């Protein structure tokens, strides 16, 4: 006989040791405390005929958005397929979703998880994975709605309940429901202090509201829980650096970059993307970060064969190249992205229309800006603002496009656009030192400096 998991979901294993190891791996996926691979290997060793540990391992590898890991993920999918003949329908659905992810059909994968959650709303793995790929696709509505559909069916005593609350909090924030997001994030942390995704959700609220002093204090308050032994630490250090930049503390942001977003701290593309994004913001503010960008690229070594795998990552690779002054290399990367995005064989991948319709114009706008064609950069970047969410990531991450537009407006002849963007910004949150920086760069009248 097989046993259900800790939340009563059907499982294909009858080995308690395997179930315990898989549950530990699931907690690691949701909490980011160490990678789950050793636990999944232990689950597989305890029950070699169980497909789910291989599916979970493949999904975890794919969630890192590293093209170099596709081969390893394919091996795990093959092992899961070989063991899935007698797996319960729930586990076969997870395998189907992960196969879709492997094929680049991220939207189709999320539809499978949606259907799965209608029958099994306490399937934490489906909630976690769907949130990740909603995030990668910029689907803010489902970031909020999917956990909202499931949460009333959860037992608040479940150890993973605070982590599901954190998923909901982040979805609320990305839908601009800031007060609700902060409340839910704080509730999650009141139940369990070790929920970095909840820390993250409230941090985003404070970022979007211009509360840079509150945000720095919030991260400092919870730092003991996230700064050591947690895979999410680099991203939260990045947020801390953004709060420094909002305060116009450039030296403080550079110190955080050197201490936490460089060298050995950058093990994955997910970490390097944050470093590139911070470097670009500093570059826009007139800082020479070419040495740091060159070091980032040396450690990154982005493989040209991976160009076009994910438009969001391509954007940040190009930013790093431009910060390093490697304009020709950036142009070559964009050309490879274009070749892949325009190829018919890519048409089924979720990244294909996004890269073609949004990614390429944005990349070409960045190249124009780097070549000194500020007005040309505006012409390419501004029309993409309404669709930029499709690139993936968060509002805070995509704000670098608005900051690039402000820099281009200041460098060229589009002062009216710069004024309009700053009007929009000041209506959304208080005028911060960073906003005043852009007001000064655009030489706007004194009445617009309030």
Nearest CA-CA partner of 145 in 160, 157, 127, 133: 127
Contact 106, 99 (CB under 8 A): no
For residue 22, the Cα-to-chain-centroid distance in whole angstroms is 24
Does position 446 have pLDDT exceeding 60, yes or no?
Answer: no
Q: What is the reported pLDDT for 342?
A: 84
**192 in the Ramachandran plot: left (φ > 0), alpha (ψ -120 to 50) or beta?**
beta
Question: How far is Cα 132 from Cα 144, in angstroms, rounded to an integer?
Answer: 12
| Sign of CA pseudo-dihedral 221, 222, 227, 232 | negative
What pLDDT digit, counting tens, does each position of 79-103 carry?
999 999 999 999 999 999 999 999 9
So where are the chain's domains? Answer: 276-450
What pLDDT digit, counting tens, does each position of 309-364 carry?
999 999 999 999 999 999 999 999 999 999 998 887 777 899 999 999 999 999 99
Task: Name the percent of the chain lying above pLDDT 70.
Answer: 98
Question: Token digits for 187?
Answer: 């509730």
Contact 35, 230 (CB under 8 A): no
pTM of the model: 0.96
Q: What is the reported pLDDT for 24?
A: 98
Nearest CA-CA partner of 395 in 204, 240, 165: 204
Cβ-based burial of 328 (10 A; exposed 0-12, middle 13-18, buried ≥19): exposed
Question: How far is Cα 306 from Cα 308, in angstroms, rounded to an integer?
Answer: 6
Nearest CA-CA partner of 12 in 62, 60, 48, 58: 48
**138 in the Ramachandran plot: left (φ > 0), alpha (ψ -120 to 50) or beta?**
left
């Amino acid at each position: 006989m097989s046993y259900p998991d800790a939340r009563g979901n059907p499982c294909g294993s009858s080995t308690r040791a395997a179930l315990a190891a898989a549950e530990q791996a699931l907690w690691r996926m949701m909490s980011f405390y160490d990678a789950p691979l050793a636990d999944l290997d232990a689950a597989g060793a305890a029950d070699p005929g169980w497909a789910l540990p291989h599916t979970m391992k493949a999904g975890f590898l794919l969630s890192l958005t590293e093209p170099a890991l596709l081969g390893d993920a394919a091996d795990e999918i093959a092992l899961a397929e070989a063991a899935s003949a007698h797996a319960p329908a729930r586990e076969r659905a997870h395998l189907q979703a992960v196969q879709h992810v492997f094929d680049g059909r991220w939207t189709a994968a999320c539809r499978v998880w949606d259907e799965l959650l209608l029958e099994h709303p306490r399937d934490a793995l489906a909630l976690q994975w769907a949130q990740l790929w909603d995030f990668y696709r910029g689907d803010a509505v489902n970031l909020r709605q999917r956990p909202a559909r499931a949460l009333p069916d959860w037992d608040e005593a479940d150890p993973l309940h605070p982590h599901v609350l954190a998923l909901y909090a982040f979805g609320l924030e990305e839908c601009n429901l800031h007060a609700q997001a902060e409340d839910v994030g704080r509730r999650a942390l009141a139940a369990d202090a070790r929920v970095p995704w909840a820390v993250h959700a409230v941090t985003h609220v404070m970022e979007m509201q211009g509360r840079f002093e509150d945000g720095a204090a919030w991260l400092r308050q919870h730092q003991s829980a996230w700064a050591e032994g947690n895979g999410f630490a680099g991203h939260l250090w990045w947020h801390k650096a953004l709060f420094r930049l909002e305060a116009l503390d450039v030296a403080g942001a550079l110190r955080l970059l050197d201490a936490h977003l460089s060298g050995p701290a950058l093990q994955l593309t997910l970490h390097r993307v944050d470093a590139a994004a911070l470097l670009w913001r500093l570059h826009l503010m007139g800082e020479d970060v070419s040495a740091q960008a060159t070091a980032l690229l040396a450690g990154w070594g982005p493989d040209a064969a991976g160009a076009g795998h994910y438009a969001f990552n391509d954007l940040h690779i190009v930013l790093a190249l431009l910060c390093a002054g490697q304009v020709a290399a950036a142009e070559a990367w964009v050309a490879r992205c274009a070749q892949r995005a325009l190829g018919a064989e890519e048409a089924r991948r979720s990244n294909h229309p996004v890269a073609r319709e949004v990614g390429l114009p944005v990349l070409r706008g960045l190249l124009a800006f780097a070549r000194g064609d500020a007005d040309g950069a505006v012409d390419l970047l501004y029309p993409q603002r309404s669709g930029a969410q499709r690139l993936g990531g968060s509002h805070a991450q995509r704000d670098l496009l608005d900051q690039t537009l402000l820099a281009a407006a200041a460098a060229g002849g589009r002062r009216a656009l710069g004024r309009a963007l700053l009007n929009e910004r000041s209506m959304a949150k208080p005028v911060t030192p960073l906003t005043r920086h852009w007001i000064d760069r655009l030489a706007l009248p004194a009445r617009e400096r309030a």
